[in-house]
Amino acid sequence: MNNPEKLAMRTPSLADEKFAALANLFPNAVTETIDENGSVVRAIDKDVLAQEINAHVVEGREERYQFTWPDKRKSILLANTPIAAALRPCREESVDFDTTENLYIEGDNLDVLKLLRETYLNRVKMIYIDPPYNTSNDFVYNDDFSEDTDSFLSRDGQFDEQGNRLVRNLDSNGRFHTDWLNMIYPRLRVARDLLTDDGVIFISIGDEEASNLIKVCNEVFGEANFRNQIVVRRGAKSVQAQFDTWDKLGQGLEYILLYTKNPTYRFPKQMKMLDEAKQGGWNNHWRGTDRPTMRYPLFGITPPSGQWRWGKERSDKAIENYQRMLNETHKTQETIMDNEIDKWYISQKDGTLDLLRLSRNGKPEHYIAPTNETLLNSSWVDLLIGSSSEITKLFDTAVFDTAKLTAVIKRMLGFVDKDSIILDFFSGSATTAHAVMQLNAEDGGKRKFIMVQLPEICAENSEAVKVGYKTICEIGKERIRRAGAKIKDSNQGPQVDTGFRVLKLDSSNMKEVYYAPDEFLTTAQKQQSLFGFMDNIKEDRSDEDLLFQVMLDLGIPLSGKITQNSDVFSVNDNYLIACFKQVDTALITEIAKKKPYYAVFRDSSFVNDSAMVNFEQVFATYSPNTIRRVL
């Protein structure tokens, strides 16, 4: 009898995959050598490889153009290193767990990205991230490049629930840029693999690391895939805060780097925001001809003679779009309802001019409403990138100081299809999730979001803690709940998915014996049965915990539709059927008759030897093509 194959239950080694790909292309360059420990190890013969590709191979101290920093080699190894971890579902913190296709994942984003890589390989259409800007107030992940745990904890004492260490990267630190680069580089390396061939990534960044980030992205994505360095205005508060230090000019601008996965990518010809602009962009000036039917009040003013160029319905539509834009960007319109006609009525905020011009004789000349025609331009200065007013309004208090605006993210979403998967692995207050739901409500889209956020502790004296939010994750999840409820209440169109499944990063559900049985089992234990009869699953893990780790291992999306009948799980209409409780021949037969693509069981769940012996024969009879796996 052939035993069912065991699931790996860990991420693959990317280094192994890349070596295999190189070996497949150039098998004659593959060789072996002896390492410093005297062990035989795989190797690549660089001389043979150089001959095959007909190019000079740079080595040693030979000069070359490159971007490097201390520990870069370790950072590359970190991106390729496999992990054994799990994403455990948390129903009580989710919304519409059984029906939603959105995900909110808590944990170190590098580990989460590694877990997502196989399942979401080439599936994510757009990534947006707003990583730490590397100021003296920001934490960066310390990936153990230079310190042991004891020395780190004695100096700082910050770590998350999974044991990932955080360090405040002070500008007095000699490794100020190095630590930040070691944090961002492996995350971008793994994230690239998730993008579709026509995928795009937007990265918010400030002056501190903009030049370094461009170099990193040129290496990770390729210089040919650099599309734009978009300029966006910062809020006045942050500008003034820097200016008050008197050490440099205030930073009035931030940047969004735009890269694509493939140099053949072309921007969409028609984009939603441009369509809106055509409705809302005005040249509705006052004309000298006199048509009373084209004379109506605008902003409380009805001119005594002449006519508007546009009819009232078109003007009302443009005003509606204008007001929506004001709500999205939180600009304050100055009063222009005054009936004194010897003035210029001007609304000028944040560099945008909205003008109702009245000449000295009281005759209105024109009104110019704002447009969004900068969409295909690298200047997005009509949108503020940093403003806490939107989330403050949602929570009735300032729970998050650096939230981005949904209007900024919605403009990015115009670059991808309406059914795309959107990933944000520095999700913060979950602005991206809010923007996805809002835009879906406006245009009937079916975009799905994946938010990833470290459960970073909120500052002790922060407003968030005062009102009961202990971590940034708690703020993000509550924002999605509140924004989703508001969207549902106001939406009159197609039903919008405002739910989300909460998953939390944890150690693997499997005991160490699962990965290295030779180190833990005696010969007698190994011979107990064909399957080992050892309970290799941690005692505190549920069947649903196991199911989600199995889904990741088999490449099944974590948003898959899950149904449960007694102890049997079905995912995506019997694509996967799993049972982790007692299994007898009758249940095996029942499952086999449903002809699943995958069938997964615990190796210790078979009730007796008869069930084990009959296992393969039952599937061979009723569903020979089903792939059988055990834990």
Residues 117-176 pLDDT 10s: 999 999 999 999 999 887 655 555 555 543 433 443 333 445 444 444 555 555 555 577
Q: Is residue 154 part of a domain?
A: no
Return d(Cα 567, Cα 578) in angstroms, integer.
9
Question: Do 237 and 383 share a structural domain?
Answer: yes
Q: Which of 482, 505, 528 is the last residue of a domain?
A: 505
* pLDDT score recorded for residue 145: 44
Q: Is residue 574 part of a domain?
A: yes
Q: Is the pLDDT of residue 238 over 80?
A: no
Question: Do 501 and 429 share a structural domain?
Answer: yes
Instruction: Grade residue 320 by pLDDT with cuts at 50, 70 and 90.
Output: low
Report how far Cα 67 is from the mean position of its chain's Cα atoms: 26
Question: Do 183 and 118 share a structural domain?
Answer: yes
Question: Do 385 and 249 share a structural domain?
Answer: yes
Mean pLDDT computed over 471-494:
88
Which residue range is the domain that position 361 belongs to?
289-368
Q: Which of 519, 511, 505, 540 is nearest to 603 (CA)?
A: 511
pLDDT tens column, 322-365? 555 555 544 433 333 333 333 333 333 333 323 343 333 444 33
Going from the C-alpha of 603 to that of each of 41, 559, 606, 631, the distances in angstroms are 34, 26, 7, 6
Q: Is the pLDDT of residue 374 over 50?
A: no
Q: Which is more confidently placed, 331 or 571?
A: 571
Mean pLDDT of the chain: 79
Question: Do 489 and 420 share a structural domain?
Answer: yes
Question: Do 533 and 462 share a structural domain?
Answer: no
Q: Is residue 347 part of a domain?
A: yes
Question: Do 356 and 336 share a structural domain?
Answer: yes
Classify 397 as helix, strand or coil: coil
Q: Is residue 281 part of a domain?
A: no
Instruction: Grade residue 372 by pLDDT with cuts at 50, 70 and 90.
Output: very low
CB–CB of 473/162 below 8 Å? no
Classify 511 as helix, strand or coil: coil
127: left (phi over 0), alpha (psi -120 to 50) or beta: beta
Q: Which is more confidently placed, 334 or 476?
A: 476
Q: Is the pLDDT of residue 74 over 50?
A: yes
Q: Is residue 168 part of a domain?
A: no
* pLDDT score recorded for residue 266: 85
Tokens 């440099």, residue located: 248
Q: What angle do CA 107, 147, 209 make, to 5 degrees?
A: 65
Domain total of the chain? 4
Handedness of CA 178, 450, 232, 456 (dihedral sign): negative
* pLDDT score recorded for residue 493: 59
pLDDT tens column, 406-448? 989 999 999 999 999 999 999 999 999 999 999 999 889 999 9
Question: Do 475 and 595 share a structural domain?
Answer: no
Question: Do 228 and 91 share a structural domain?
Answer: yes
SS3 for 161-228, per residue? CCCCEEEECCCCCCCHHHHHHHHHHHHHHHHHHHEEEEEEEEEEECCCCHHHHHHHHHHHHCHHHEEE
Question: Do 540 and 516 share a structural domain?
Answer: yes
CATH number assigned to the domain comprising residue 255: 3.40.50.150
* pLDDT score recorded for residue 293: 73
Q: How many CB atoms lie within 10 A of CB 626?
A: 17
Lowest mean pLDDT among 146-150, 280-284, 552-556, 618-622: 146-150
Percent residues over pLDDT 90 in the chain: 44
Question: Do 520 and 475 share a structural domain?
Answer: no
**Residue 609 exposed, middle or buried by CB count within 10 Å (0-12, 13-18, 19+):** exposed
Give the amino acid at 489: D
Question: Do 233 and 130 share a structural domain?
Answer: yes
* pLDDT score recorded for residue 157: 42
Instruction: Grade residue 186 by pLDDT with cuts at 50, 70 and 90.
Output: very high
Q: Which of 487, 505, 523 is the last residue of a domain?
A: 505
Q: Is residue 147 part of a domain?
A: no
Lowest mean pLDDT among 224-238, 241-255, 352-366, 585-599: 352-366
Q: Which of 343, 368, 393 is the last residue of a domain?
A: 368
**Residue 201 exposed, middle or buried by CB count within 10 Å (0-12, 13-18, 19+):** buried
Q: Is the pLDDT of residue 274 over 60?
A: no
Q: Is residue 145 part of a domain?
A: no
**Residue 619 exposed, middle or buried by CB count within 10 Å (0-12, 13-18, 19+):** buried
Q: Which is more confidently placed, 204 or 317?
A: 204
Which alpha helices (DSSP H) does 537-622 contain, by range?
543-554, 585-593, 609-622
* pLDDT score recorded for residue 37: 84
Q: Is residue 49 part of a domain?
A: yes
Helix (H) or strand (E) run with residue 384 in it: strand 379-384
